[in-house]
Amino acid sequence: MTEAALLPLAVLLPLALGAAAFVLPEAAARRLLAPGWAAMAAVAAAIALAGEAPLRYALGAWPAPLGIELFADRLTQALLLLAVAVYAAVLPYARAYFTPGAQQARLFWPLAWLLWAGLNAAFLADDLFNQFVALELLGLAAVGLTAISGLPAALAAALRYLLAALIGTNLFLLAVALLYGASGVLSLTALATMLVPAPYAALALALLVIALALKTALAPLHFWLPPAHGGAATPVSALLSALVIKASFAILLRQWLALAPALEVALLGHLLAALGALAIVWGSVLALVQTRVKMLVAYSTVAQVGYLFLPFAWLLPGAPGAGLALEASVLQLIAHALAKAAMFLAAGCLVLAVGRDDFDALHGAAARNPVAIFAFGLAGASLIGLPPSAGFAAKWQMLHAALAAGQWPWVLLLLAGGLLTAAYVFRVLKLAFLPAPAAGDAPPASPAMPAAALALALAAAFGGLAAAPLLAYLDLGAIAWHTR
């Protein structure tokens, strides 16, 4: 299995790029962007093309049963490619966003590569140890990125983020100790076969769920997200909202699929779904009352995280609709990554044009940045769940999962959530039609910025057209409940 040697490359290459960007002058780090991205894309594509069977790469001399290895199935392949797509838009955007030679830029490039290493490590992890390491790496890079502007508000947000990350890490570590102490294995595959219903195992799963719900910002554990995502530099906001919270969610999803069959998880599943419902309503209502556009987008993330967790009501071993629920979660993960990155990038174009991000200042900015506002609208259509967007495909699977389980209230919640989303999305779109005040604002920045937002927005808005082949390819039924 020579292809398996590609797996460590997906983590080591961005680490090397980050180190290079750190030591090189800023101008040289910029020149590294295109070839660096191309190399990352090539690695991800090679892994995706490597074949049918999941790839495994044993790290060091730690074979099974300890089982510390890198692992890539089709879900991993899709997530690796998702990161490639988001970076494809964010890197050129950042190149135009940051002034050459500025302190922010010097910090952004190495941290962005480091973040990518953490993301890929998380996507490739199939054991508790690797998941832990990946989360640490991600947290480090993400907190650092939040702080790069150096503004007091950003530093405060970064500290709060750091606090949340540390709490999450400690809970995670505690759960790992419980599971390893009792079973002597770390691999999820091994745990899935060895786990017996016992209080320690239930406690461990609960700790893992709390730790990762905190890192994914599931309400009411979302307190750290809005200031961090809304206050960071725009390219950072896009990476955090699109990818970082998805990495912790993907880890949780894999743990759930491995550990849930041995345990009584119906109650926990319904609790997660209920918190998801809370997130949808509460996040949307707060998005409706924000006075700054990037905070609106950040609270929209709080709401959209709710849709990631809603399917846990049906994602129970043997439950009707479990397959649909798993598909819904994965589709929502992909849809939100594309749409939210697009929305942050678009909002950033508007903010940059006037130098402020409160709604009053944005009158007319929208009219003078038609591409940015169009991208915002397309991304919004996906968040609302209008066809043929990727968000619609996710919502469609969720509606069917709810009906398969005969649970009507969720259907009403999903539909109401779409309308709430429309209400806050159109708060921004309305700006485009207000009469513009007299000119005098800064001219719109490089056309690369709105173009980057538009590319991702188009992928989100028309992604639903690819849902059927994508789901057929992912074949999520095969990874459900660890049957691999």
How many helices (H) does the chain have, and how many strands (E)?
21, 2
- Nearer to another protein by C-beta: 223 or 462? 462
Residue with tokens 């392949």: 77
Q: Which helix (H) or strand (E) holds 55?
A: strand 55-58
> CA 448: distance to chain centroid?
23
Using the rule CB under 8 A, give the single segment among 61-69, 337-345, 390-398, 446-454 that binds another protein: 390-398
Residues binding another protein: what is the number (CB under 8 A)? Answer: 36
**Residue 274 found at the interface with another protein (CB under 8 A):** no
- Nearer to another protein by C-beta: 18 or 321? 321
Q: Which helix (H) or strand (E) holds 56?
A: strand 55-58
**Residue 400 found at the interface with another protein (CB under 8 A):** yes
Residue with tokens 């890197």: 91
**Residue 288 found at the interface with another protein (CB under 8 A):** no
Among 261, 317, 320, 387, binds another protein (CB under 8 A): 387
**Residue 426 found at the interface with another protein (CB under 8 A):** yes
**Residue 430 found at the interface with another protein (CB under 8 A):** yes
Among 100, 199, 435, 443, binds another protein (CB under 8 A): 435
Residue with tokens 């990518």: 116
Among 102, 289, 415, 478, binds another protein (CB under 8 A): 415
- Nearer to another protein by C-beta: 65 or 409? 409
- Pairing status of strand 69-72 against strand 55-58: antiparallel
Using the rule CB under 8 A, give the single segment among 118-126, 211-219, 294-302, 404-412 that binds another protein: 404-412
Handedness of CA 263, 268, 273, 279 (dihedral sign): negative
- Nearer to another protein by C-beta: 236 or 365? 365
Give residues 336-375 in contact with another protein (rule: CB under 8 A).
Answer: 370, 374
Q: Are 346 and 450 in contact (CB under 8 A)?
A: yes
What's the closest the beta carbon of residue 330 comes to another protein, in angstroms? Answer: 13
- Nearer to another protein by C-beta: 141 or 432? 432
Q: What are phi and psi of 98, to 5 degrees?
A: -90, 135
Kindly write out the interface string for residues 460-479 of this chain, putting x where it contacts another protein by CB under 8 A and - elsewhere.
Answer: ----xx-xxx-xx-------
**Residue 440 found at the interface with another protein (CB under 8 A):** no
**Residue 54 found at the interface with another protein (CB under 8 A):** no
Q: Are 267 and 319 in contact (CB under 8 A)?
A: no
Q: Around 378, how many Cα atoms within 13 Å sit in the side-chain half-sphere? A: 27
Q: Are 333 and 471 in contact (CB under 8 A)?
A: no
Tokens encoding 477? 């039924």
**What one-letter code names the amino acid at 305?**
V
**What one-letter code names the amino acid at 163?**
L
What's the closest the beta carbon of residue 373 comes to another protein, in angstroms? Answer: 10
**Residue 419 found at the interface with another protein (CB under 8 A):** yes
- Nearer to another protein by C-beta: 64 or 458? 458
Q: What are the DSSP calls for 202-268, one per residue?
A: HHHHHHHHHHHHHHHT-TTS-TTHHHHHHHS-HHHHHHIIIIIHHHHHHHHHHHHHHHGGGS--HHH
Among 396, 410, 424, 481, binds another protein (CB under 8 A): 396
What's the closest the beta carbon of residue 358 comes to another protein, in angstroms? Answer: 19
What's the closest the beta carbon of residue 389 comes to another protein, in angstroms? Answer: 10
**Residue 244 found at the interface with another protein (CB under 8 A):** no
Cα 156 to Cα 136, 235, 407, 470: the distances in Å are: 20, 19, 42, 41
Which residues neighbour 227 within 8 Å (Cβ) at sequence distance 6 or greater? Answer: 153, 156, 157, 160, 298
Q: Which helix (H) or strand (E) holds 69?
A: strand 69-72
- Nearer to another protein by C-beta: 27 or 426? 426
Among 434, 475, 477, 478, binds another protein (CB under 8 A): 434
**Residue 10 found at the interface with another protein (CB under 8 A):** no
Using the rule CB under 8 A, give the single segment among 121-129, 218-226, 275-283, 387-395 that binds another protein: 387-395
Using the rule CB under 8 A, give the single segment among 88-96, 102-110, 221-229, 396-404 that binds another protein: 396-404
CA gyration radius, the chain: 21
Cα 304 from Cα 316, distance rounded (Å): 21
Q: What are phi and psi of 71, to 5 degrees?
A: -145, 135
Partner residues linked to 282 by β-bridges: none
Among 271, 281, 416, 445, binds another protein (CB under 8 A): 416
Using the rule CB under 8 A, give the single segment among 137-145, 170-178, 253-261, 424-432 that binds another protein: 424-432
Q: Can you give the binding site for another protein, defined by CB under 8 A?
A: 327, 370, 374, 377, 381, 384, 386-388, 393, 396-397, 399-400, 403-404, 411-412, 415-416, 418-419, 422, 426, 430, 432-435, 464-465, 467-469, 471-472
